[in-house]
């Protein structure tokens, strides 16, 4: 299996927790529902951050998380003083050019 630092193309991941809950897209929100044959869970697209400056500063591998087949990317926003995961229409284009937006990077 490829490590995030070696990814040049997205790696696709299915998310399932210990209670067999999966993520589905409802409107502009990801919600957890019980897994079943009638549920089509989202698939995460994991893309390695290739910014050389960040690779030198960070010990861990930074990645972008998108939703496969959608133009949506996960990012962290501060809402009422608390970090909150949000979805943004961007297709993980948050790393366009040489400027990386930290709010889109995950370890």
Residue 23 lies in a domain: yes
Q: Name the domain count of the chain.
A: 1
Residue 3 lies in a domain: no
**What's the domain range around 34?**
10-104
Residue 5 lies in a domain: no
Q: How far apart, in whole angstroms, are the C-alpha atoms of residue 71 and residue 99?
A: 20
Residue 94 lies in a domain: yes
* Between 101 and 31, residue with greater pLDDT: 31
pLDDT tens digits along 5-19: 444 688 999 989 999
Q: How far apart, in whole angstroms, are the C-alpha atoms of residue 66 and residue 63?
A: 10
Which tokens hold the place of 98?
């040489």
**DSSP code string of 19-73:** T-EEEEEETTEEEEEE--TT----EEEEEE---HHHHHH-SSPPEEEEETTTTEE
Q: pTM of this prediction?
A: 0.70
Task: Report the CATH number at residue 46.
Answer: 2.80.10.50
pLDDT tens digits along 33-72: 999 999 999 999 888 877 666 666 655 677 888 899 888 8
**Element containing residue 75 per DSSP (H, E):** strand 72-79
The alpha carbon of residue 80 and the mean position of all alpha carbons in its chain are separated, in whole angstroms, by 22
29-33, 86-90, 97-101: segment of lowest average pLDDT: 97-101
Residue 4 lies in a domain: no
């Amino acid at each position: 299996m490829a490590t995030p630092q070696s990814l040049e193309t997205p790696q696709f991941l299915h998310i399932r927790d210990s209670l067999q809950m999966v993520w589905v897209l409802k409107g502009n929100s990801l919600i957890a529902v019980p897994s079943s044959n009638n549920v089509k869970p989202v698939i995460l697209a994991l893309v390695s951050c290739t910014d050389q400056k960040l690779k030198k500063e960070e010990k861990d591998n930074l990645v972008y998380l998108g939703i496969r087949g959608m133009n949506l990317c996960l990012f962290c926003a501060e809402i009422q003083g608390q970090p909150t995961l949000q979805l943004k229409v961007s297709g993980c284009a948050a790393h366009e050019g040489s400027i990386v937006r930290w709010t889109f990077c995950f370890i």
